[in-house]
Amino acid sequence: MQITVRQTETIDEVELVGMLKEAAKEAVNTAEAACVRALEAETLEAFDNPTAWAQKAFASFKARERDGEIDGLVFVKTAQSDWLFERNIFGGELSAGDPGTSAKLGIPVPGPDGPLTAAGGLQRGAVGRVMNSGNGFMKDLPDGNVAVLERSLDGGLDLIAIFVHDAHYAPRFDFFDVVEKIALNVLPAAYSSALSKRLE
């Protein structure tokens, strides 16, 4: 089989297959990079004031050929996954002493007076701000949990947070949907552009 590209040039079948594979690899790499950028942007939306470390939680492996197919991989880095993303992607249980928790106090969950993120979680640093204000204190509760209380201006007490020993997380970071949406949007144009360059 031969394909005519210009009047004076022809490409044989082996060369064409090589071009198609290389174009596919370039397109997958382009889509992977777009997915990583989209996930970083999603982190800003899903979490309260995320650190640079949390935003840079995503990476990809270069496209490769396996069993006659071209594939790539977008993933969450291990440290960030263990500490932050695994339960936010899949849901699940969290216990005192797990990464991101206090082994002594447990897991901070918002009280009725606690400052919340858009996602309904306790704002990062909220407990520290209360405890450093001079009006905050902790109180052991009969069930073994610990309340974070703040004296209000009217002389009452605001319940800012409660440290619990176990908590259940519902999924709230749509990793797979973000990757699928971006990949399906980017791949066709990226492949067309990569192939066109090789056929010029």
Is the C-alpha dihedral spanning 120, 122, 126, 127 positive or negative?
Answer: positive
Which pLDDT does position 42 carry in this prediction?
93
Q: Are 42 and 54 in contact (CB under 8 A)?
A: no
Domains of the chain, by residue range, sit at: 2-83+174-199, 93-169
* Residue 139 per-residue DSSP state: E
* Residue 150 per-residue DSSP state: E
Q: Which residue from 80, 76, 87, 70 is spatially nearest to 21, judged by alpha carbons?
A: 70
Low-confidence ranges of the chain (pLDDT < 70): 1-11, 119
* Residue 8 per-residue DSSP state: T
Cα(129)–Cα(136) distance, integer angstroms:
9
Q: If you count them, how many residues does the chain have?
A: 200
Which pLDDT does position 56 carry in this prediction?
93
In the block, tokens 């949406």 appear at 181
Global pTM reads: 0.73
Q: How far apart are the first and last CA of the chain?
A: 19
Q: How far out from the chain centre does Cα 61 lie?
A: 16
Q: Which residue from 96, 88, 82, 93 is spatially nearest to 53, judged by alpha carbons?
A: 82
CA distances from 7 to 3, 4, 10, 157, 193 (A): 11, 7, 8, 85, 22
- The predicted-structure confidence for 27-54, as pLDDT tens digits, reads as follows 999 999 999 999 999 998 888 778 889 8
Which pLDDT does position 5 carry in this prediction?
43
